[in-house]
Each structure stands twice: as C-alpha cells, then as structure tokens.
Amino acid sequence: MNKESKIFIAGHRGMVGSAIWRSLSEKGYTNLIGRTSAELDLRKQKAVSDFLEYEKIEVVIDAAARVGGILANNTYPYQFIMENMLIQNNLINGAFELGIKKFIFLGSSCIYPRLASQPLKEASLLTGELEPTNEWYAVAKISGVKACEAIRKQYGLDYVSLMPTNLYGTHDNFDLETSHVLPAMLRKFHEGKINGHTPVKLWGSGTPMREFLFVNDMAESVVFALENTLPDHLYNIGTGVDLSIKELAETIQRTVGHKGEIIWDSSKPDGTPRKLMDVSKMHDLGWKHQVDLEEGVSKTYQWFLKNVDHIKKVKM
C-alpha cells in the first residue's frame, strides 16, 4: 500500500475511526480523508457517490455506524437497521461503481447466531437465530458482509470484512443510555467513587461471558488488512480470551478505586450467554492483539479522567 494513497475513513471521529486515523498517521500515511456527518451525510446515496468521485478516493475504510448497547437497540430498532444499511450500502456500492479496488468493512461479533458453538467461527454466520436484543444491528451488518463477499466473488476486488469482538478504549461513548457495557460500568463506578463509594447497580446476573478488545488493537488489525491482501472475505478480530461480566466489573472497580457494593439487577436482560471469537484465521496470517484487559481499562480510565468535562452527554 502506497503511503500517499488517498484513504477515506468513514466515521473518523468515532472511537474506532479515530484510532485507525491515529495508527495510520503514526505509520506515515499522509493522505487520510475524513468528513463529519454535517459535512457528508452517509445516508444520502448521491452525496456519498459524488464525494468519492470528486476526492478520487483509492481506499475506503468503513468505520461508520449507528451503535449502542441493549437499551439503545431495543429502543430504536428501525434506526439501527435502516441507518446502518443506508450508510454501508452507499459506501460499498459507491466504491464499487467507481472502481475502488480496496474496501475494508467493519462489523461486530453480534452477526453470529446467539447459540453458535464457542468460540465463534466465521463459518457460523447464518447458521442460527440471532440474539434478539441486537438483531436489528446484526442484520444490517450481515448484509454488508454479504455485499462485500458478493463483490469479491463476482468481480475479484479486495473487499474484506473484519468482525471485532466487544471494543472499548479512548474516545468511547460513556452515555448511560446508549453506551456498551464496559464504558457504562466505568462511568458508574467513577460516579459511585466520587459520590462517597455508593453502591453501583449493574444489569443482569453477571454470569454471561464476554471478550473485550482495546480499540488500538482493532486499528492495528485494519492496518494489517490494508497492507496485505487477505485470502478470504471475513475475519474475526479479538483476543481469543473471555471473562464473566462479574469479573469485568471487579476489574473496572479495582482500576477506578471504587470501594462500595456491587448490586446485580437480575430483572434486566443478560443478552447472549457467551460470545468468544475464534481468531485463529487472523493469527495464522500474522496479526495478534497486544493490549491485555487490565492495561486497556487503565488507559481508558485515564483518558476518561482527562476528558470527562468534554465527553458528550457526560455531565457530573
């Protein structure tokens, strides 16, 4: 990959997109292109096509999506399926029609069936029912994976899909209504700490098993896919190691320094019982994560403390 190639990072201000931008910049890529949602509405087909053509984009990295946790998915199912399909379809088809030969599509481990055999293999896609609490987002992302696979199969273009496990890190969303489990926990424990180590109530039983990947490692996997021609269309991105939500809570509580009680609200849904990724395909090609959970949570909390007054929707 030429370091001067014109690379469009869709969603460059988000947690994942900004990490990809930082990683590519550090490696000497000098022609990175980004647009805010105000500058380019990715839901508008003509606007996306015109932009890609005018800027003469050579590579598209799709890190743009409407994302959120269980509450957000259950509350806004139509927005989660329709907006994500519009965004990715406009980017994928716009790139294809303009002859853009390299496209990296980012999705999520929620594309796999709820009760698929663990660890989750790429071959498990479409072999069973999805988790109901995030099926709207999952269906959208599955359609993106299959679109990229179809272009690759029919036209031989290097369109590849990377499916990360649960991501966290700097520039995350810490809003309690729309965030994922790890940043939501981090904020709750922080607020409990500064309010005199008051009890922290968490959703579910604490028994589900989850895998977490620091966002900088995700960015490195994208760089790996950018700089290499991967032989298949779909790859899991993760650590290959999981832990219970209870263990996660204890890790975050210890990092934050909260000394109060943890109360588990079993009336709230647990979601999928377990989601562990089989990452052997990427390992075999030479990519592996570098940041363990303790280090990643610590880095995330330090960033949170430095930026708490400016984080969207977080008002102490």
Residues annotated as catalytic (active site), given as ranges = 137
- Classify 10 in phi/psi space as left (phi over 0), alpha (psi -120 to 50) or beta: beta
Taking alpha carbons only, the member of 268, 133, 249, 247 closest to residue 187 is 249
**Using CA atoms, how far apart are residues 47 and 52, in angstroms rounded to an integer?**
9
Structure tokens at 169: 């890190």
Q: Which residues are annotated as a binding site for substrate?
A: 188, 203, 210, 270
Which ranges of 39-109 does DSSP label H, i.e. alpha helix?
45-55, 70-75, 77-97
Feature table: binding site: 11-17, 106-109, 141, 164-167, 180, 188, 203, 210, 270
Neighbour count for residue 259 (Cβ, 10 Å): 10
Q: Angle, nearest 10°, between helix axes 77-97 and 45-55?
A: 40
Is 191 in contact with 316 (CB distance < 8 Å)? yes
**Distance between CA 181 and CA 203 in Å, rounded?**
9
Residue type for position 306: K
